[in-house]
């Protein structure tokens, strides 16, 4: 209740036009109902959490921003959001934060620097990712470095279930960038494959000069030019084959890494994303202020 009281005070004090609520929603719909402000929900989780975190609260918001076009084999997320009653929607992806790359390095410095890690994956050791990660680790051995959000319990399960592919060591957040800048190729494995494509790793990898091989299939084109700025894969075997190919072909690997870096710097940095958001909201507020035409 203290949060609610403070938020009401801040809206009045700043004369805010919009309240933007990000991902995990702390406000009860009946509190939002009495706020005289344009209410925007940004969702950035996959379908597994949608009914818990998102869909039940759509009625309380004027606008929904979604981070991925994917939802299920039957329909995309835009169609799903309309089906469950979202009033207005816009695609607004995640982005590369300034803390997740080194702006002091030029493109040439970044791409041409020595990289002693062949392949890297940094991320949470979710059960849905384990079969792919285990198969790739067994195929590549020490050439694949696995790091990220893990625990003793998840590591024990991972190794007993999949025949001891390796231990995934957690690392602190400030080690992500130095580690990425040592890697030639970064593999991207989402929690439900192409139906959860669009996480931060999609932007962190190329932002650090890493060539990215990513799941996502037809949805990759919402973010990159497939084959030019990112390489897609459809199965663990396909991923292994493509990793081996690009490790053996440095010129092609560096070309895709460079193109991916340029795309991120041009279109996927957080400052660009916030400028895009200002345009989206200005247009929405303008449309809201215009009187409806009579029939």
Distances from the Cα of 118 to the Cα of 239, 247, 253, angstroms: 14, 7, 11
pLDDT at position 52? 84
Residue 293 has what pLDDT? 56
- Which tokens belong to 32? 């939002």
- Show the domains of the chain with their CATH numbers: 2-95+270-289 (no CATH), 98-267 (3.40.50.2000)
Question: Which of 46, 27, 204 minimizes the C-alpha distance to 120?
Answer: 204
Reported pTM? 0.93
- 173's CB contacts (< 8 A; 6+ apart) are none
What phi and psi, each to the nearest 5 degrees, are found at residue 169?
-85, 135
Mean per-residue pLDDT pooled into runs of 10, the chain (295 residues): 94 95 90 95 85 91 96 94 96 97 95 96 94 97 94 95 95 94 97 92 98 97 98 97 98 98 98 97 86 54
**Tokens 């989402």 sit on residue:** 190
What is the distance between the alpha carbons of residues 172 and 99, in angstroms, rounded to a whole number?
13
Please give the C-alpha separations between residue 167 and each of 36, 124, 188, 255, 264, in angstroms, as whole numbers: 52, 13, 18, 32, 31
pLDDT recorded at residue 291: 61
Check residue 290 and give its pLDDT: 65
* β-strand partners of 62: none
Q: Residue 126: what pLDDT? A: 93
């Amino acid at each position: 209740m203290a949060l609610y009281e403070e938020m009401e005070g801040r809206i009045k004090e700043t004369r805010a036009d919009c309240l933007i609520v990000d991902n995990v929603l702390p406000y009860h719909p009946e509190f939002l109902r009495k706020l005289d402000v344009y209410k925007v929900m940004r969702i950035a989780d996959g379908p597994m959490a949608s009914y818990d975190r998102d869909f039940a609260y759509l009625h309380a918001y004027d606008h929904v921003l979604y981070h991925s076009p994917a939802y299920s084999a039957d329909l995309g997320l835009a169609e799903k959001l309309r089906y469950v009653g979202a009033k207005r929607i816009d695609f607004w992806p995640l982005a590369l934060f300034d803390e997740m790359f080194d702006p002091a390095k030029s493109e040439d410095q970044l791409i041409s620097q020595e990289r002693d890690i062949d392949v890297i994956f940094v991320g949470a050791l979710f059960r849905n990712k384990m079969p792919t990660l285990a198969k790739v680790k067994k195929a590549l051995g020490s050439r694949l470095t696995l790091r990220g959000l893990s625990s003793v319990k998840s590591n024990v399960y991972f190794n007993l279930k999949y025949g001891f592919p390796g231990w995934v060591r957690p690392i602190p957040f400030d080690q992500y960038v130095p580690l990425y800048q040592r890697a030639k190729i970064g593999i991207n494995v989402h929690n439900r494959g192409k139906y959860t494509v669009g996480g931060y790793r999609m932007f962190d990898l190329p932002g650090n000069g890493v060539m990215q091989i990513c799941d996502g299939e037809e949805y990759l084109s919402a973010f990159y030019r497939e084959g030019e700025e990112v390489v897609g894969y459809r199965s663990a075997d396909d991923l292994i084959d493509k990793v081996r190919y690009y490790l053996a072909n440095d010129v092609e690997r560096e070309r895709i890494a460079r193109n991916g870096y340029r795309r991120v710097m041009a279109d996927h940095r957080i400052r660009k994303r916030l400028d895009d958001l200002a345009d989206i909201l200005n247009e929405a507020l303008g449309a809201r202020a215009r009187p409806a035409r009579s029939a």
